[in-house]
Amino acid sequence: MTDLEVIMASPAFATIAIPLLAAIGGALAGGLPPWVLARRASKEVLARDAMARRERELGLARQVFVKLTIAVNEIMGFHRQVELMIAKADSDGNGHMPVWQRLSTFVGIDRNPVVEFDAQELSVFIAARAMDYVDALILLSRRHAAVVTSLAAFAQMRIEFQYEIAKSGNSTRNESGVSTTAVRVPPGRENYFRFKSEELSLFAENMRGLLTDYANFAARVAEKFGPISEAYFGEGQLPYLEDTPAGNDTVK
């Protein structure tokens, strides 16, 4: 009894035991211990970060979709217009004319902004492990720029040569707005006119072939956007480009 009474009466025991019991009682009364609350808070922060990252990626993917739509529509639109011009000339009985004479110029084409995908936009498809698609988007951007540059160069070359011909001939314009120039080549200028016409023909034919190839390529890039984005983000998160009508049977 004596030993027990000494321990019970000890100031040290009272000083240590009472606050400890109070602390345990307070924690139990409050619900969860601090380490559990900290872990829960950490999970909530991680979940919010993941949600914010996904929303940011969705925003970047939507930007890619808009730029992709512009590039594809323009490439395929230019291709369609070129083929329609040639078909119209052929149906009018002018199929014997060189390609450059059957094509009109695209006024203001040099002011078309070139579509470019920045590193942040491409990072979405890197995260989706679609590296081939990243390469395709970069190539599409460069081909869009090449199309705009080629059409602008053709327009300048054609207009300059047309004015050169007009200086030495007599021009008329029909009801459809098509001009025809009857020209008598001045002595010493035969080689110049022949060479210039050949250069324009080669340029126009190559440009037409590239437009066909680039339109095919643009259609394939557009059609892959949906499946790739759906596999990464889930169904219904982004537009799904399933069909890309080319306006020409050569584009599949």
Domain boundaries, given as residue ranges, for the chain:
57-233
Whether residue 232 contacts residue 128, with contact meaning beta carbons closer than 8 Å, is answered with yes
Identity of the amino acid at 103: L
pLDDT at position 73, please? 92
pLDDT of residue 171: 63
Cβ count within 10 A of residue 79: 25
Q: What's residue 41's pLDDT?
A: 54
Nearest Cα residue to 193 out of 201, 185, 203? 185
Other beta carbons within 10 Å of 188: 7
| pLDDT value of position 252 | 34
- Apex 73 CA angle, 203 and 222, nearest 5: 110
| Percent helix, strand and coil across the chain, each to the nearest 5 | 75, 5, 25
The pLDDT score that the predictor gives to residue 205 is: 95
Handedness of CA 164, 165, 169, 171 (dihedral sign): negative
Work out the widest C-alpha separation in the chain, in whole angstroms: 139
What does the CA dihedral 94, 99, 104, 105 come to, rounded to 10 degrees?
-170
pLDDT of residue 127: 92
Given this model, what pLDDT does residue 158 score? 87
Q: Which residues in the chain land under pLDDT 70?
A: 1-50, 169-183, 185, 237, 239-252
Give the model's pLDDT for residue 213. Answer: 96
The pLDDT value recorded for residue 251 is 33
Q: In degrees, to the nearest 5, what angle opens at C-alpha 252 toward C-alphas 247 and 137?
A: 95
Give the model's pLDDT for residue 248.
41
Q: Cα–Cα distance between 19 and 34 in angstroms, integer? A: 18
